Amino acid sequence: MVRPDSNIYLLITKYSEGDIAEEEYHVLKAWMEEDADNKKIFSEYLIFLKNARRVRFSDRVDNEIAWGVIQSQLRKRKSFNIKLYLRYAAVFLMMVTLTVSYLKLNQKNAMESKIADNSSIQPGKPKAILELGDGRIVNLEEIGDSAAILAAGTKIQKRDEVVDYRNAKPETEMMNTIRIPRGGEYHLVLSDGTRVWLNSDSELTFPMRFSGKTREISLKGEAYLEVAKNKNFPFVVDVKGISVTVLGTSFNIKAYDKIETTLVEGKVSIHTDASQDVVLTPNEQGVVSEDHSKVIVKHVDTRLFTAWKDGVFAFRSMTLEEIMRTFERWYDVKVTFESDDLRNRRFTGNLKRYEDITPHLDMIGMTTDVDFKISGNKIVVVKKK
């Protein structure tokens, strides 16, 4: 188990966000009771976090890494006047941030990652396969932009890597399916004006034009939706036998393994056959249990679950196993671990989604005890020597 004081930054951060588990709270409390200075560090750091949240979300990655350096100094130099030390933390942050930026530009020389192959692993990009109701298959990456796809006697528009169904007037009711491979993403607009951002390794089945009393679609994988408001026609997303019903809202659904619905604005209702409907309000997340018997609701920072559509990986005390699964889907790589205990190492930071994977692995290596061996599209996570 990691010594409490080596992970205290993450625990205080989770405490400030109201997302700390009971066991973690006991670890944090025990650490504070060890030394009077620890309580001072705790109090002052909470103030620091409050001020740090004023920083723009996309810029927080360097600040968090920089604060990791500050925090290590606090542990080493408790005899310092803590309040005075933290008062100058903002200035120190700027200095360290500049240093981190310099390191980013010189990663090949500065990092210790064990790279066995110099070939870079590029990020994903807009690509998808559209299966029309008549059985035809369209590779959206291969057709030109500002193109029209003919189906059911009407046109589906493709413009700026977006498929738009708003002007489609099909002669017959027809279901379409769009599949996003690993290493891909896509954005489409449904016939009612609802916007859908699909993440890697995902699939959406939907009608060319909605009819009937509800607007129903079926999802596999992950999607962010901005649903067009129409109180007379509820919008329903079917996910692995679970129904999420909305009238007009913005939310994220992730269903690679467990089913997570994260609400940004509006209101949604989650229905399972084994439980009563659970209604979410903004900044809440509903997690369906494995047996679909209940929905666990918790308060969350929604940006952590929606940042991907804006080009950011937002990781908060996330295990390397979870992070590597995300990388596998987006970079279309295969990741293995030298030993299972490395899967539980944790990392906090915001990383740019459209960058080569190497800087991200280097950044994780800087703040943990792991390195990475890369060969082609295969990555092995190893313990740092």
Contact 209, 169 (CB under 8 A): yes
169, two tokens: 């007037």
Question: Helix and strand tally (H, E) in the chain?
Answer: 10, 24
pLDDT at 188: 96
Task: Sketch the domain layout of the chain as residue ranges.
Answer: 4-105, 125-305, 311-383
174, two tokens: 């027809």
CA 142/CA 163 separation, integer angstroms: 13
pLDDT at 236: 96
CB atoms within 10 A of CB 115: 18
pLDDT at 32: 84
296, two tokens: 């666990």
Classify burial at 28, counting beta carbons within 10 Å of its beta carbon; exposed 0-12, middle 13-18, buried 19 or more: buried
For the chain (385 residues), the mean pLDDT of every run of 10, in chain order, is: 54 73 80 82 71 45 49 50 52 47 46 50 94 90 81 80 87 89 96 96 96 94 96 94 90 95 96 85 94 92 95 94 98 97 92 93 90 94 92
126, two tokens: 């807009």
pLDDT at 133: 86
pLDDT at 274: 76
Helical segments of the chain, H only: 8-16, 22-34, 36-52, 60-76, 82-87, 89-105, 107-110, 303-306, 320-331, 357-367
CA 311/CA 39 separation, integer angstroms: 37
Is there a common fold for 125-305 and 311-383? no
Coil, helix or strand at residue 369: coil
70, two tokens: 């500050």
311-383: CATH topology is Phage tail protein beta-alpha-beta fold (3.55.50)
Identify the architecture of domain 125-305 in CATH: Sandwich (2.60)
